[in-house]
Amino acid sequence: MDKLSQLRAMTAVVADTGDINAIRQFTPLDATTNPSLLLKAAQQAEYQPLIDEAIAWAAAQGGSSSEQTSLCVDRIAAKIGYEILQIVPGRISTEVDARLSFDTNATLARARRLMDLYAQMGVAAERVLVKIASTWEGIKAAEILEREGIHCNLTLLFSFAQARACADAGVTLISPFVGRILDWHLQNTDATGFTPEQDPGVQSVRRIYQFYKEHGFDTTVMGASFRNTGQIEALAGCDSLTISPNLLAELAEDHGELPRALTPADNSGNSSPPLGEGDFRFQHNDDAMAHEKLGEGIRKFVVDQIALEHQLKARAKQGEPA
């Protein structure tokens, strides 16, 4: 049996892509997208009719040019999500504009709009996860959304403080970024490499996973942002892992044995005291890696969001009558 099949027997495998063909090939349980993946998807031939429809739909809603572009981006995200849900049996994660990462009320409004767009296409709420950056403001928005029945995927998660606050908020799922943690340590320490067991990104996910299980938190841990299959194998048994198509292919071609690496700790029955805002901000910022990578991640998503908007504006202008 190949390693991808073995992994599926102990972990929910999610495709980290907006590429319909890759999703059809690897038949994951769920799929997840982000602004960077949407930008790539929007350049693929099969999505061009969808993009034209979204531009026309947004224009018909009226409003300013910037309002139409914002609507168009969300429409495209929901439409691509809808197409993916015709293939995967589980859920799609769709991301809120990263520029809203420090505004709870704006995040709430955008998340509700995305869910309304999905509802208009007949998609049930339980099949969608709204992706929100794991800032304090984002976590507070997710706490409110979860009470409304809107399930959330808290992304760009690098610190234990973020993980604790997400569990306190009762979010459905978190995405700790394994590869980006490794990147930081390779760039900012004397280390030239790590074994999977020593990998700081792997160790971060293992710590969060065991803490959640020990204290009885229901939040799903979905490791993300992998650089190699060694990281994935070192987290076999994690609740869920979101994996890029190239690494899914490597696992599918490897017929070696894949032992379980994570087994949940016994629930101690001891509750964990909630993490307040002051402690959250201090602990997160006291972790230089987490502080730097969260900010960098938000900035990179914003760059791709703006690039997608510019692409859509140019296409809309081409379609205008002379």
**224: DSSP letter:** B
Q: How many C-beta atoms lie closer than 10 Å to residue 53's C-beta?
A: 14
What is the C-alpha separation between 318 and 322, in angstroms, rounded?
9
Catalytic residues: 131
Taking the CA atoms of 130, 237, 241 and 86 in sequence, report the sign of the dihedral they define.
negative
The separation between CA 217 and the C-alpha centre of its own chain, rounded to angstroms, equals: 19
**287: DSSP letter:** S
Taking the CA atoms of 225, 230, 232 and 238 in sequence, report the sign of the dihedral they define.
negative
Which residues, at least 6 apart from 189, have a Cβ–Cβ distance to it below 8 Å?
A: none
What is the C-alpha separation between 147 and 11, in angstroms, rounded?
27
